[in-house]
A and B are shown apart, each in its own frame.
Chain A
Amino acid sequence: MTPKAQVMGQNEEKVIDTTRQAVPFNTGNIPGPKMARAVMPAVPGKMLAKAKRPLLIVGSEIDDPDVLARVVMLGKTGIQIASVGDSYKYLGDKGLDAHYMNMHALMSYICDPQWPGLDGKGGYDLVVFFGITYYYASQAISALKNFSKIKVISIDKYYHPNADMSFGNLKKDVFIEALDEVIEQLPK
């Protein structure tokens, strides 16, 4: 049973497909020949579980209680969080390994192999993000796409063409379920 199902007190899991509607959420946001592969939640979930030093980036759009609850669940698994925009105000009291960062600066630093990371323990091998103003995230991660070797996965509600992998454009209930399925893959 997924965390969502636990939260909702349900016993049955819905089958969701996060690869539908895999077109840039902003109609004109077509960067070029390489666009994100649409994936089911198990893929980022397994990659997160396997990563040695993943980084979760979340932004100002995690204020929705359902979304915030998933950020906290992900953080509780031990994933370090870069809290961009003003999102730290939602996370500061949750006992997570969350650090405020400016998104634009963060993109610059991740591209730099000499960056010691948010905690001084070195760089990251996987970036996963959601809950950031759509166009801001999409634009910012184009730096990682083109000027770094790091894998970038969007587990956002929107299809992000500049990521390596992304969900399609999702309705809220599917999005929440997808996040739950990602969380399901992570070691407790």
Chain B
Amino acid sequence: MTLKKGSFVIEELENVQINIGKIGAKEEQIAEGPTPRPEIIGLRNWDYRILDRYNPVYTPTGDTCDYCTYGKCDLTGNKEGACGIDLEGQSARQALMTSIMGAACHSAHGRHLLNYLIKKYGEDFKIDVGPSNLQAPLTETIMGIQPKTIGDFIPVLEYVEEQLTQLIAITNTGQEGSSRDFESKALHAGMLDLLGMEVADIIQISCLGFPKSDEKAPMAEIGMGILDPKKPVVICVGHNIAAPAYILDNMDKNGLFDKIEIAGLCCTAHDMTRYNKTAKIIGSMSKELKYIRSGIPDVLVTDEQCVRADILKEAQKLHIPVIATNEKITYGLPDRSNDSVDEIIDDLVSQKQSGAVLLDFEKIGELVPKLAMKMGAIRKAKGLTALPNDNEFKKLVAKCTKCLQCTKDCPQGLPISDAMTAAVNGDFSLFETLHDKCVGCGRCDYSCPAGIPILNVIEKASQRVIREEKGKMRIGRGQIGDPEIREEGRNLVLGTTPGVLAFVGCGNYPDGTKDVYDIVEEMIQRSYIIISSGCAAMDIGMFKDKEGKTLYERYPGRFVKGNLLNTGSCVSNAHIAATTIKVASIFAGRKTKGNWEEIADYVMNRVGAVGIAWGAYSQKAFAIGTGCNRLGIPVVVGPHGTKYRRAFIGKPYKKDDWNVLDGRDGSVVNVEPAPEHLMITAETKDEVMPLLAKLCFRPSDNSLGRAIKLTHYIELSEKYLKKLPDDWHIYVRNEADLPVAKREPLMKLLEEKGWKIDWEKKKIIEGPLRKVDVSFQPTNVPRLCKEVKK
């Protein structure tokens, strides 16, 4: 007899219920490190080490606090409010709240999926993410357990939820007052976020047949121009695959893929293509309003996250029914889960109702294609669209008074009135440029005193480029497999692969989606490993070279230098962070279970990985970044990232901040600032590229690796900032660290800086901060040293 987890009763034994929990799971739960299931201050010492070096820098968006009825309190100039909190504390509290929101979002997504998948497949359904022994690196490192089945994630999410509740409690007035401890708790929330994401993606990969560490995952079509608008069109918006999977299954079963177009917006799109490669992708959240207003969708299916708050209002105007499939977003719509599909369809087609909450996945699967067929016929006959026709367009652009109010309300400050003027003269090129730079928020519509629906005007003028907006994206592959880490880990730690750059996050770019393509193209040609996820992964696939190929078609998807990987949707970000844990475990043999501090210390000192969220807008992106920071991974965000209000910035001029210990004997070694920052912004793409190269330096780089990294840092700075970096010499430990092609001229410059050079032997005699020591074991954690010297 096989015993399974669950509860059962024995007949004839009244009132006796036998509960069977984790069978044979004990041996998997032996933590190897000191902090399994860390409580709120369980990793505070590690956080303090981070915060001592990478000082929180606050850039408040507001100088007041209105969280309680004492206020509003004016905290300008770091004054204290009525409760005693000062602006620094309040800013840190906001960082904590932002991290909590993001972590809750991903973890609740994971909880929804876990409940659903356990109900469908059972707790004993085996985890399978591909060729890996280390299948759940974050779970192991944080929880100290090695999950084998999806049911093993129940205590993981219970832990996350309990911790998040504790953290939320801390944000109440009259709780924490130390900004430093607020930040430690924000780092804790960030770590929980990574854990929640890992659960969500592992269980969906395992149960739903997503690619499993598949470097050759197929390509998906992406762009606003990919769908045939003559067919009925279903658009799924959000992040949760549960409901769209049923729609795809129904369409598959009934052979509807050539009759109905189905595509996703934002991360649901990623997971739809991972579930069924026939699905297509429209793009990021920036495309949401634009695509709805095009009138092309005949049915909108929402789930959770990154769904515009006005989606129902917008859809109603164009008679597009909205099917809300997740309790988190219900828009005041009636819950029709218990009604018949035909009744619901009748009410939606007749416009008796503009949408419905529908939480029964079977019904969703049946209803949506049927509804699309009916709505498609009706809507296309009427030609419903929010975009003006040619005559209306001419009148609208002529109404512009150049008051610039639209520019003032535009998050990007776009020069809309210039485009209006050009369009009056028949030149649409400025609008076409704006189409890519515009984040599709629609704030301009509200601002125009002349009543011009500006977003619609931009989109109307850009129809030519929209029709051509057809790209390709390699479907999300999931984790990086253990064999790939074995192959590449050494190169990463020694620095001979210059770095891993993770392009993540949303579409709130400072200057359009093309920036991301440009940055990736530059860095991949320099042999960085590029990993992408979420909306950034989509936008990378939106542009083509002269031969008509996207970057995904030009570069393979293996975890080796010069490759371009897409892990998948937002929750797959966990795998990107977890890759560094895999390097520490597989390459360096570090114990993972319950051993966060040691792993993070290893990552910070040895793994040249950097995250870049160039268009980050959401609390989720902040939480991901903060979680990466606690794992020792630096993160760069675009200029909008200053509105996150907190960064972690290192001070290279404070020499003592850059003391580390040598793990061999505990001696103190003053090292170069590497990585120099943990969270920072940059203003433009030209600035960010050398910054990314610099943030890949690690104290453990060998000379060959350092020379490679230094080469890129110098070349990128010279190419984009037209200068040799001011601090390049700081990273030189001996002549072998210098880029081979520039060794002699750089040595001359070092001599000018006072360094002593033996020109006969072409050696540096004196000058560097420290010598290269191939056995150096940098660590910031005293207990990890074999013998601690005082």
Q: Which residues of A contact B (CB under 8 A)?
A: 25-28, 30-34, 59-60, 84-86, 88-89, 92-93, 99-100, 102-105, 107-109, 111-112, 114-116, 132-136, 139-140, 142-143, 145-147
With beta carbons under 8 angstroms apart, the residue of B62, B723, B725 that contacts A32 is B62
Looking at B34-42, B153-161, B646-654, B773-781, the stretch in contact with chain A turns out to be B646-654
In the bound assembly, the distance between CA atoms of A89 and B721 in angstroms comes to 5
In the bound assembly, the distance between CA atoms of A132 and B721 in angstroms comes to 16
CB of B726 within 8 Å of the partner chain = yes
Residue numbers in A under 8 Å from B723 (CB-CB): 88-89, 92, 100
The chain B residue with its CB closest to the CB of A136 is: B639
Residue numbers in A under 8 Å from B78 (CB-CB): 146-147
Given A88-B721, A146-B63: A104 and B640 within 8 A (CB)? no
B409 and A133 contact, CB distance less than 8 A: no
In the complex, per-residue mask of B715-734: 1 if CB is within 8 Å of any chain A CB, else 0: 00000111101100000000
Looking at B135-143, B458-466, B675-683, B703-711, the stretch in contact with chain A turns out to be B675-683
With beta carbons under 8 angstroms apart, the residue of B63, B76, B647 that contacts A104 is B647
Within the complex, the shortest CB–CB distance from A32 to chain B, in Å, comes to 3
Looking at B51-59, B110-118, B169-177, B425-433, the stretch in contact with chain A turns out to be B51-59
In the bound assembly, the distance between CA atoms of A88 and B60 in angstroms comes to 27
The 6 closest A-B CB pairs, nearest first, are A32-B63, A85-B683, A86-B686, A139-B642, A136-B639, A89-B722
The chain A residue with its CB closest to the CB of B63 is: A32
A89 and B686 contact, CB distance less than 8 A: yes
B651 and A112 contact, CB distance less than 8 A: yes
B59 and A27 contact, CB distance less than 8 A: no
B60 and A105 contact, CB distance less than 8 A: no
B691 and A102 contact, CB distance less than 8 A: yes
In the bound assembly, the distance between CA atoms of A115 and B653 in angstroms comes to 7
Residue numbers in A under 8 Å from B313 (CB-CB): none
B59 and A116 contact, CB distance less than 8 A: no
Within the complex, the shortest CB–CB distance from A37 to chain B, in Å, comes to 14
Residue numbers in A under 8 Å from B510 (CB-CB): 133, 136
The chain A residue with its CB closest to the CB of B407 is: A25
Residue numbers in B under 8 Å from A26 (CB-CB): 408-409, 411, 413
CB of B61 within 8 Å of the partner chain = yes
In the bound assembly, the distance between CA atoms of A112 and B57 in angstroms comes to 11
With beta carbons under 8 angstroms apart, the residue of A88, A104, A107, A147 that contacts B722 is A88
With beta carbons under 8 angstroms apart, the residue of A33, A139, A145, A147 that contacts B643 is A139
B58 and A143 contact, CB distance less than 8 A: yes
Within the complex, the shortest CB–CB distance from B65 to chain A, in Å, comes to 10
With beta carbons under 8 angstroms apart, the residue of A32, A60, A100, A147 that contacts B684 is A60
Residue numbers in A under 8 Å from B61 (CB-CB): 31, 139, 142
B64 and A32 contact, CB distance less than 8 A: yes
Residue numbers in B under 8 Å from A32 (CB-CB): 62-64, 74-76
Given A27-B447, A59-B683, A105-B680: A135 and B63 within 8 A (CB)? no
With beta carbons under 8 angstroms apart, the residue of B63, B88, B654, B681 that contacts A31 is B63
The chain B residue with its CB closest to the CB of A161 is: B63
In the bound assembly, the distance between CA atoms of A115 and B63 in angstroms comes to 25
With beta carbons under 8 angstroms apart, the residue of A105, A114, A145, A147 that contacts B677 is A105
Chain B residues numbered 91-111 whose CB sits less than 8 Å from any CB in chain A = none
In the bound assembly, the distance between CA atoms of A106 and B64 in angstroms comes to 24
Within the complex, the shortest CB–CB distance from A130 to chain B, in Å, comes to 14
Q: List 5 A-B contacts (CB under 8 A).
A: A86-B720, A92-B722, A104-B57, A104-B642, A146-B77
In the bound assembly, the distance between CA atoms of A6 and B408 in angstroms comes to 33
Given A135-B640, A145-B76: A86 and B684 within 8 A (CB)? yes
In the bound assembly, the distance between CA atoms of A78 and B323 in angstroms comes to 64
The chain B residue with its CB closest to the CB of A103 is: B683
Given A85-B682, A100-B721: A147 and B76 within 8 A (CB)? no
Chain B interface residue count, CB cutoff 8 Å, equals 47
CB of B129 within 8 Å of the partner chain = no
Residue numbers in B under 8 Å from A31 (CB-CB): 60-63
In the complex, per-residue mask of B71-91: 1 if CB is within 8 Å of any chain A CB, else 0: 000111110000000011000
CB of B687 within 8 Å of the partner chain = yes
Chain B residues numbered 636-692 whose CB sits less than 8 Å from any CB in chain A = 639-640, 642-643, 647, 649, 651, 653-654, 677, 680-684, 686-687, 691
In the bound assembly, the distance between CA atoms of A59 and B639 in angstroms comes to 12
Given A31-B61, A104-B681, A145-B76: A136 and B720 within 8 A (CB)? no
With beta carbons under 8 angstroms apart, the residue of A134, A142, A143 that contacts B413 is A134
Within the complex, the shortest CB–CB distance from B717 to chain A, in Å, comes to 8
Residue numbers in A under 8 Å from B722 (CB-CB): 88-89, 92-93
Q: Which residues of B contact A (CB under 8 A)?
A: 55, 57-64, 74-78, 87-88, 405, 408-409, 411, 413, 447, 510, 639-640, 642-643, 647, 649, 651, 653-654, 677, 680-684, 686-687, 691, 720-723, 725-726
In the bound assembly, the distance between CA atoms of A141 and B57 in angstroms comes to 11
Within the complex, the shortest CB–CB distance from A70 to chain B, in Å, comes to 20
- Excluding A140-B59, A143-B57, 20 further A-B contacts by CB distance (< 8 Å) are A27-B409, A27-B447, A28-B409, A32-B74, A33-B76, A34-B63, A88-B722, A89-B720, A89-B723, A92-B723, A93-B722, A104-B59, A108-B651, A114-B654, A133-B413, A135-B413, A135-B642, A135-B643, A145-B63, A146-B76
Within the complex, the shortest CB–CB distance from B86 to chain A, in Å, comes to 9
The chain B residue with its CB closest to the CB of A114 is: B654
The chain B residue with its CB closest to the CB of A118 is: B726
Residue numbers in A under 8 Å from B643 (CB-CB): 135, 139
Highest count of chain A CB atoms <10 Å: which of B411, B683, B684: B683
Within the complex, the shortest CB–CB distance from A174 to chain B, in Å, comes to 14
In the bound assembly, the distance between CA atoms of A145 and B681 in angstroms comes to 19
Residue numbers in A under 8 Å from B62 (CB-CB): 30-32
Residue numbers in B under 8 Å from A86 (CB-CB): 683-684, 686-687, 720-721
Residue numbers in B under 8 Å from A104 (CB-CB): 57, 59, 642, 647, 649, 680-682
Residue numbers in A under 8 Å from B411 (CB-CB): 26, 135
Residue numbers in A under 8 Å from B654 (CB-CB): 114
Residue numbers in A under 8 Å from B64 (CB-CB): 32-33
The chain A residue with its CB closest to the CB of B641 is: A104
The chain A residue with its CB closest to the CB of B60 is: A142
In the bound assembly, the distance between CA atoms of A85 and B687 in angstroms comes to 5
Given A26-B408, A31-B61, A92-B723: A133 and B639 within 8 A (CB)? yes
Residue numbers in A under 8 Å from B58 (CB-CB): 143, 146-147
The chain B residue with its CB closest to the CB of A83 is: B721
In the bound assembly, the distance between CA atoms of A112 and B722 in angstroms comes to 29
Residue numbers in B under 8 Å from A134 (CB-CB): 413
With beta carbons under 8 angstroms apart, the residue of A25, A33, A102 that contacts B687 is A102
In the bound assembly, the distance between CA atoms of A143 and B77 in angstroms comes to 9
B686 and A143 contact, CB distance less than 8 A: no
Within the complex, the shortest CB–CB distance from B364 to chain A, in Å, comes to 38
Residue numbers in B under 8 Å from A116 (CB-CB): 653
Highest count of chain A CB atoms <10 Å: which of B63, B78, B649, B681: B63
Within the complex, the shortest CB–CB distance from A80 to chain B, in Å, comes to 14
B682 and A143 contact, CB distance less than 8 A: no
A34 and B682 contact, CB distance less than 8 A: no
In the bound assembly, the distance between CA atoms of A42 and B683 in angstroms comes to 30
The chain B residue with its CB closest to the CB of A32 is: B63
The chain A residue with its CB closest to the CB of B446 is: A27
B683 and A139 contact, CB distance less than 8 A: no
In the bound assembly, the distance between CA atoms of A8 and B57 in angstroms comes to 44
Within the complex, the shortest CB–CB distance from B649 to chain A, in Å, comes to 4
Within the complex, the shortest CB–CB distance from A166 to chain B, in Å, comes to 15
Within the complex, the shortest CB–CB distance from B410 to chain A, in Å, comes to 8
Within the complex, the shortest CB–CB distance from A94 to chain B, in Å, comes to 11
Highest count of chain A CB atoms <10 Å: which of B88, B684, B691: B684
Within the complex, the shortest CB–CB distance from B611 to chain A, in Å, comes to 16
A27 and B653 contact, CB distance less than 8 A: no
